[in-house]
A and B are shown apart, each in its own frame.
Chain A
Amino acid sequence: MHPNRRKRLLMVIFLVGGLSTTLALVLVALNRNLDFFYSPAAIAAGQAPVSKRIRAGGMVLQDSLVKASDSLRVEFSIGDLQGFEVRVFFEGILPDLFREGQGVVVTGRLTTEGFIEASQVLAKHDENYMPRELAEALEGYHPPTSSQAYDR
């Protein structure tokens, strides 16, 4: 074969091979790492899969936080405005902005009993900002904040 043509052929093989490997990797990786979001209402309706990693969000219900006295285990309930709620278990340190009456997003697995074993708890970054998915789950709810006077 003409050396130039051979070079071009090698290049094309390399490109096609590389591109398909990348695509395959992307597809496999995407397939395994999509975390769907469920509101407490959706979980109550049985829409969320059991023991697959999911995200759930809602407001931490008043007086629902229970801390163990000898370990880092905590449990609390998150709920939405329709009155649906789900109990969350977590072992670790809660974020600074975690408070009862505030919105949180948790990542974890739903147990067969309908609890969430959370591996991560995210609280709102600041009082102006709220994850959009959470804002929709909590539609109509305004957390009391000190700087609300200046919000537009």
Chain B
Amino acid sequence: MIAEIGHLALWLALFAAAGQVFSGALGVTLRHGILMAAAPAFALTQAVCAALAFVMLALAFLRDDFSLAYVAANSNSLLPEFYKLAAVWGAHEGSFLLWILIMSLWTLAVAMDTRLPLIAFKTAMLVVMGALSCGFLLFSLLTSSPFDRLLPFSPVEGADLNPQLQDFGLIVHPPMLYLGYIGFSVAFAFAIASLWLRPPDAETLRWLRPWTNAAWCFLGLGIVLGSWWAYYELGWGGWWFWDAVENASLIPWLAGTALIHSLAVSEKRGFFGQWTLLLAILVFSFSLLGAFLVRSGVLISVHAFASDPERGLFMLIFLVVVVGSALLLYFFRFPPSIAGNYGLWSRETFLLTNNHLLAAAAGTVLLGTLFPLVYESLSGGRKLSVGPPYFNLTFLPLAGLLALALALGPLMRWSRTPVRIILRQVAWLTGISLTAGLLLPLLLSDAFNPSLMLTSALAFWIFGGLWMVIRHESFVRNPSASRVGMCLAHAGFVVCLIGVGFSSTLSQSKNVLLNSGQETTLAGYHFRFEGVVRQRGANYLADVGILKVSPPPLLGWFSRSAIDLRPEKRLYPVRGNVMTEAAISPGLWLDLYATLGSPVGEGWSMQLHYKPFIRWIWLGGVLMALGGLIPLFGRRYRRVARES
């Protein structure tokens, strides 16, 4: 029964979404009050139905209803309850149900928001969001329903959740990511509504800003969680692989970052309006493209879901229809251009530079991600992949230029800044960053290390700029939530930059073969292997290696007391999977990381890593997200926009 209720609820959600589109569209065209007022009611119905379907699937998991194909493939009666709930979004069908639920919740949030009293405009947004919901619901119902039954021969036991997904990081990662991806549909709907009805004014643009910030924060946190999970779960000691699916989340994040900045100019100064609307369309298009890449199986990736050509075709058609019609509308109803009147040394110029650099970065990542697909179709099926060095070579220089501009941007005034002031600030910053760039690497490394110097110099260049912003009288007098958030997000960028730069240059690792009682040294740390013991977990068997680690005799300033590392090799008998469970001793300054390979002769092969500053990467990501979140609680965005 449970599954049938869920299935019915999904169909009802589809009808509600269709009702939202038709009543809204008719209401906006005829300016009919009651028809327009019906759209939010439909949005509420849709959200309730989607939530009901989701709860029903969760119940099916908790009750071990293995007559459902999806439950049978992704759960097991021995699986802990906590993971049974998480398994709801552990594979394609269920995670798409989560996607639908989140879409309906964002729609509901827009429908309930009373700060935008432009009824026709809001209804137009609901029409767009309802149409998107219709597409998602159809996709789920027609190609990937999680409620399909395995009758009459239903299995007595399930195939278990993929062991790599039995993990906290991966439980929270998809919801965060989806909240981000789909959150950008608000900006998308806003852009379409603007093109449909009228160009937005400063008040409505201000209304959009917290929504964009929120989506951007969720997406950022989702990416951080994914990277952190890859680091401790995949056992390679890496945190970013330039994998197609990772890129699929990075591209909308980069474009979303550009959108946040260009919205600032559009709202405060009224310029860049055309560009902002185009960006709003593009960011969500990239989100959809990401979903397509992950779920269609066209790209080679370790994260991709199992592929199915039918699904790929549906998603591709949906993608082309949504993005194509949005872009056509954009080019036919090209919004009026307002010539910006600002000097070369102005905040406008720097925000424009920010947008150019971010767009270029997103473009190069997009190119590298899609190139194998394009090449294959043009060359008649020859296969290739684009290696990580491509991304490092194109992305990192752009990120460096962004870092250069980032310090100066917030110091600029709107419209025009006297060159005399800029020169003085630049002189200070150059002094600070050169000193730091020369001195800091000496503390961290014995050898001459140019990339360490560059990272330190850039970091202090930005910190210096931020310091000047914070000390400036206008900030001291009025530390508004927006400004605090901006400074925090920029500080997060530096922390992340330090993490990436330092950890990639200072990290050391080695593959060793150790017999019981043997020792090895890495970066001054002594690793003594004490052998392997057998342990039993809830649904697995484990070989646990014991490594006694003692720090270098001469205590460095970020050294560590003696610890035990216990890397595991687990066997999950239900699926017959073997899993490496890395042992990590985390720290603000450095991580020690060990994974177990396999028994070789008398001993075991293992991989040891020394990873300084690695935590800073994720810490920076979290700070950036927090920085984006803080303005939402400021007075500025809580004010009600006036009907104009």
A residues in contact (CB < 8 Å) with B: 4, 7, 10-11, 15, 18-19, 22, 25-26, 28-30, 32-37, 53, 55, 67-72, 91-94, 96-97, 122, 125-129, 131-133, 146-147, 149-150, 152
| Chain A residues whose C-beta falls within 8 Å of the C-beta of B390 in the assembled complex | 29-30, 32-33
Among B366-388, those with CB < 8 Å from A are 367-368, 371, 382-388
- If A7-B343, A29-B389, A33-B389 touch, whether A22 touches B598 (CB-CB below 8 Å) is no
B606 contacts across to A, CB distance below 8 A: 93
| CA–CA, A137 and B387, complex, Å | 21
Give Cα distance in the complex from A133 to B384, angstroms.
9
Q: What are 18 sample pairs from A and B whose C-beta atoms fall under 8 A apart?
A: A18-B356, A22-B398, A26-B394, A29-B389, A29-B393, A30-B368, A33-B387, A34-B385, A68-B600, A71-B513, A96-B577, A96-B578, A128-B306, A129-B297, A129-B305, A132-B307, A146-B159, A146-B575
With both chains docked as a complex, state the minimum distance between the C-beta of A46 and any C-beta of chain B, in angstroms: 16
Say whether B387 contacts A35, CB under 8 Å.
yes
Q: Say how far B20's CB is from chain A's closest CB, in angstroms.
A: 33
Shortest distance in angstroms between A143's beta carbon and chain B's nearest beta carbon?
A: 12
Identify which of B297, B397, B605 contacts A93 (C-beta below 8 A): B605
Chain B residues, Cβ within 8 Å of A97: 577-578
- Residues of chain B at the chain A interface (Cβ within 8 Å): 69, 72-73, 150, 155, 159, 162, 164, 235, 297-298, 300, 302-307, 341, 343-344, 356, 360, 363-364, 367-368, 371, 382-391, 393-394, 397-398, 511-513, 574-580, 595, 597-598, 600-601, 605-607
Which residues of A have CB within 8 Å of B155?
149-150
How far is A126 from B387 in the complex, measured between Cα atoms in Å?
23
Which partner residue on chain A sits nearest B148 by CB separation? Answer: A152
Question: Chain B contacts of A69 at CB under 8 A?
Answer: 600-601
Give the Cβ gap from B175 to chain A, nearest Cβ, in Å.
21
Residue in chain A with minimal CB distance to B162: A126
Whole-angstrom distance between the Cβ of A56 and the nearest chain B Cβ: 11
Of A94, A96, A150, most B-chain CB atoms within 10 Å: A96
Q: Is the CB of B600 within 8 A of A150?
A: no
A129/B385 in contact, CB under 8 A: no
Which A residues touch B397, using CB under 8 A?
25
A70 contact set on B, CB distance < 8 A:
513, 600-601
Q: Do B511 and A132 touch across chains, with their CB atoms under 8 A apart? A: no
A30 partner, pick from B382, B386, B511, beta carbons under 8 A? B386
CA distance A53 to B386 in the complex (A): 11
Main secondary structure of the interface of A (DSSP, over half): mixed
Q: A36-B384, A127-B575, A150-B150 are in contact. List 17 more A-B contacts (CB 8 A).
A: A19-B360, A22-B364, A29-B389, A36-B382, A37-B382, A37-B383, A55-B384, A68-B600, A72-B511, A72-B513, A72-B597, A72-B600, A94-B598, A97-B578, A132-B297, A147-B73, A150-B72
Tell me the smallest distance from the CB of B38 to a CB of chain A, in Å.
40
* Cross-chain contact B387 with A96 (CB below 8 angstroms): no
Which residues of the other chain, B, contact A18 by a CB distance below 8 angstroms?
A: 356, 360
Tally of contacts, chain A with chain B, CB under 8 A: 130
- Contact A32–B389 (Cβ < 8 Å): yes
Q: Complex formed: what's the CA distance from A152 to B309 in Å?
A: 13
The answer to whether B600 touches A94, judged by C-beta atoms less than 8 angstroms apart, is no
Q: Which of B387, B577, B601 has the most CB of A within 10 A?
A: B387
B374 to chain A, nearest CB (A): 12
In the complex, chain A residues whose CB is within 8 Å of the CB of B385: 34-35, 37, 55
Which residues of the other chain, A, contact B391 by a CB distance below 8 angstroms? 29
B residues near A129, Cβ cutoff 8 Å: 297, 304-307
Residues on the B chain within 8 Å of A34, using CB:
371, 384-387
Measured CB to CB, the closest approach of chain A to B522, in angstroms, equals: 15
Q: Is the CB of B300 within 8 A of A33?
A: no
Task: Verify A25–B383 contact, CB threshold 8 A.
Answer: no
CB proximity of A19 to chain B, nearest CB, Å: 8
The answer to whether B595 and A93 touch across the interface, beta carbons within 8 angstroms, is: yes
- Which chain B residue has the least Cβ–Cβ distance from A99? B578
Tell me the minimal C-beta distance from A42 to chain B in angstroms.
10
CB distance from A126 to the nearest CB of B (A): 5
Residues of chain B lying within 8 A (CB to CB) of residue A125: 302-304
Kindly provide the distance from the CB of B287 to the nearest chain A CB, expressed in whole angstroms: 22
Which residues of A lie under 8 Å from residue B300 when comparing CB positions? 131-133
**When the two chains form the complex, which single residue of A26, A55, A133 contacts B364, counting CB atoms closer than 8 Å?**
A26
A57 to B499, CA, bound (A): 35
Q: A91's contact among B69, B162, B297, B511, by CB below 8 Å, is which?
A: B511
Docked-complex contact A147 and B575, CB < 8 angstroms: yes
**What's the Cα separation between A147 and B363 when bound, in Å?**
40
Q: Are A35 and B384 in contact (CB under 8 A)?
A: yes
Chain A's nearest CB lies how many Å from the CB of B72? Answer: 5
Tell me if B371 and A30 are in contact (CB < 8 A): yes
CA distance A55 to B341 in the complex (A): 53
* A136 CB, min distance to chain B CBs, angstroms: 8
Shortest Cβ distance from residue B533 to the other chain A in the assembled complex, whole angstroms: 20
Q: Is the CB of B384 within 8 A of A37?
A: yes
Question: Are A26 and B598 touching (Cβ within 8 A)?
Answer: no
Give the residue among A29, A37, A125 with the most B Cβ atoms within 10 A. A29
User: Closest A-chain residue to B345, C-beta based?
Assistant: A7
Q: Specify the chain B residue showing the minimal Cβ separation from A93.
A: B597
Q: What's the minimum C-beta distance from A83 to chain B, rounded to whole angstroms? A: 21
Q: Are A28 and B344 in contact (CB under 8 A)?
A: no
A122 and B389 alpha carbons, distance in the complex (Å) = 18
Name the residue of chain B whose CB is nearest to the CB of A91. B511
Residues of A within 8 A of B579 (CB): 96
CA distance A19 to B401 in the complex (A): 13
